[in-house]
Chain A
Amino acid sequence: MAHITLKDIAHSYTGASDNPDDYALKKLNLTWRDGGAYALLGPSGCGKTTLLNIISGLLTPTKGQVLFNDEDVTRLPTEQRNIAQIFQFPVIYDTMTVFQNLAFPLKNRGRTQVEIEPRVIELAKMLGLENDLYTKAQHLTADAKQKISLGRGLIRQSVNAILFDEPLTVIDPQLKWELRSQLKYLHKQFGFTMIYVTHDQTEALTFADEVIVMYEGEIVQVGTPEALFERPEHTFVGYFIGSPGMNITPCELKGDRIFIEGHEITLETHYKEQLASAKIEVGIRPEYLSLAQPQDKGLPVNIIKIDDIGRHKIARVALNDSVFHVVMPEMSGMTGDKASLVFDTAHTNIYVNDHLIAGEKP
């Protein structure tokens, strides 16, 4: 058990270079609390797996240090870091039985059969593998194989951290949900530090206490699922989290007023004047927009399309060239294709050059 610190980590697969574009991971600093449940969220190719491999020691970072409890382990090989890692696709030892597979990490560390056996049986029960313990692993289904991979990651009780690299990609949806709650339960019970890499926001938000969002080799936001939803610090987080993502539209900013396509909205906070060259945008979640009758106060919009997705409806509306998504509980008596778009100003964020800026209460 340890807290893990990444200090000025950067990695380039082509070796040290002065060109920032060569870096799969740009300079980042991060501390993982001991016993925390983290999710690393981001689109494919944003450097999540690279970051994970640096923590486990499968990769040595081009720059920076990895610290376990303030001890520098940057050059320490994987075997000596006491880390468990589970990969996207099942990795099993074909010639071994399920039991031997699960026991392998313990056996390699010199544990006796007496210690190994009860632990393996306990874990096999937890994963629902107890009936296949003495079957050869290669004859099992992909689901079961991935459970074995998970099991090998969870078998050691004293690991510094367990790293999951999109481990449930190959698993059926129903079982996926079960295994995820199982992992959450294990986390509560044993207090492992868990870092879970995924590109699926639901997975990240349900699993983790804290979510780290990555984009193009950089960490764009670290926060609780609520913070990511309410106040995305980067327009990418706004787009990426939520379904549909945040509405982000160019606007003009004057103190506490913004102008979208010439229409004025008064906000609750006051913003400093920005440089003329800055890209200023307003961001609002579809959940915080609503539609009113055309004659009511609001932005005059055209309704393009309404999708019924069960619990609620999603309306696509246009104000000249700006398109907004609006989540509506029901079609509150709207007729025709004209409506007024109403902003919930308490949940309206302003972005300058893609980064959130804070306003002041007047």
Chain B
Amino acid sequence: MIQKQINQKAWFMVLPVFLLVAFSAVIPLMTVVNYSFQDTFGSNKFFWVGMDWFRDLMHSERFHDAFLRQIAFSSIILAIEIPLGIAIALAMPKKGWGVPVCLISMSLPLLIPWNVVGTIWQIFGRVDIGLLGHTLASLGIDYNYTQDPIAAWLTIIAMDVWHWTSLVVLLSYAGLCSIPDAYYQAAKIDGASRISVFRYIQLPKMQGVLLIAVLLRFMDSFMIYTEPFVITGGGPGNSTTFMSIDLVKMAIGQFDLGPAAAMSLVYFLIILLLSWVFYTVMSNVGEESSKGGA
């Protein structure tokens, strides 16, 4: 018989990981949870308020507006960047000297820090000295992102597309490059049109990377903070106050720790929920379409 050795000392081996995760994730998250059920009037005195902050948040018009702005922003970003990214990836050369040129120029925007991107566009769009703003103004177009909400939105969207479409391009390109030549050859033999090749070969083979691209772009755009903060500071008015900007205003500007904690928890749960929805829908999309039979 083999004697089973019982050695509880092994638990000490995983202790460093426990500590690391505790300090990096669990304790900060629990602090936020703690704040969200309490109120304070300063001098480190806290009162239990139960679900009040959450109740307030659910009825807060300010939160609803920020949430809707956020949804609108992320939807527009995804609707532009995903198709545009796929289109650019399809147009990129597959071999020759064009490959490194394209790949490097595509990676450039991704290497620029967020606040620098914000600053670039903030200056680029200025009517007095910016190349874009000044050109538009000289053409007689009424463009001023500091006063016109539509101009502010267009600027931020253009900036995000400029900054992040490359990510979708690179992921799609990787997906396209992994398709063996035999597929394209078989499609030629089968007499498939260019659209069929895209619909039945390229798109299904890119499904995995596109799922990653959509998730990354969704989560990132849903948490966008630095660039609009640098360009518009959330204005004009509240027109570009997205959720994270609103959250920072509340937590650090107004020092309303309780409501801000409640909001960040809800914010976190929304991202989690929507990411899960995207993941489930996209990984099932191929399955659904096949059940129709012939």
- Cβ B189 vs Cβ A85 within 8 A: yes
CB pair B204–A97 under 8 Å, yes or no, is: no
Are B186 and A95 in touch, CB under 8 angstroms?
no
A104 touching B290 by the CB < 8 A rule? no
With contacts A93-B200, A136-B287, A152-B190 taken as known, whether A87 is within 8 angstroms of B294 at the C-beta atoms is no
- Please name all residues of chain B whose beta carbon is closer than 8 Å to the beta carbon of A78 when the two chains form the complex: 185, 188-189
If A95-B204, A95-B289 touch, whether A103 touches B294 (CB-CB below 8 Å) is yes
Contact: A105 with B191, CB < 8 Å?
yes
Main secondary structure of the interface of A (DSSP, over half): mixed
A87/B185 in contact, CB under 8 A: yes
- Bound: A88/B185 CA distance, A: 12
Whether B182 is near chain A, meaning CB under 8 Å from some CB there, is yes
Closest 7 CB pairs of A and B: A108-B191, A136-B290, A91-B186, A78-B188, A105-B190, A99-B294, A93-B200
Q: Is the CB of B191 within 8 A of A79?
A: yes
Bound CA span A79–B192, Å: 8
Measured between beta carbons, the chain B residues less than 8 angstroms from A95 are 200, 204, 286, 289-290
State how many angstroms separate the Cβ of B233 from the closest Cβ of chain A. Answer: 46
A109 beta carbon closer than 8 Å to chain B: yes
Across the interface, do B186 and A149 meet the contact criterion of CB distance under 8 Å?
Answer: yes
How many pairs of residues, A versus B, come closer than 8 Å at their CB atoms? 72
In contact, B204 and A94 (Cβ under 8 angstroms)? yes
Assuming the contacts A84-B189, A108-B193, asked whether A91 and B290 have C-beta atoms less than 8 A apart, the reply is no
Residues of B within 8 A of A (CB-CB), count: 22
Which among A91, A97, A103 has the greatest number of chain B C-beta atoms within 10 A?
A: A91
Known: A58-B185, A79-B191, A94-B204. 6 other contacts (CB 8 A): A57-B188, A58-B188, A84-B189, A87-B185, A97-B294, A152-B190
Bound: A57/B162 CA distance, A: 41
> Are the CB atoms of A87 and B192 closer together than 8 Å?
no
> Is A96's CB within 8 Å of the partner chain B?
yes
Residues in A with CB closer than 8 Å to B294 are 97, 99-100, 103, 117, 133-134
By a CB distance below 8 angstroms, the chain B residues around A288 are none
Q: Which residues of A contact B29 (CB under 8 A)?
A: none
Q: Does A77 contact B (CB under 8 A)?
A: yes
Q: What is the chain B residue whose CB lies nearest that of A109?
A: B191
Please pick, from A56, A89, A134, A136, the residue contacting B189 in the complex, using a CB distance under 8 A.
A56
B-side contacts of A117, CB under 8 Å: 294
Task: Enumerate A126-153 residues with CB–CB distance to B below 8 Å.
Answer: 133-134, 136, 138, 149, 152-153
- Is B290 within 8 A of A97, CB to CB? yes
Shortest C-beta distance, A68 to chain B (Å), equals 15
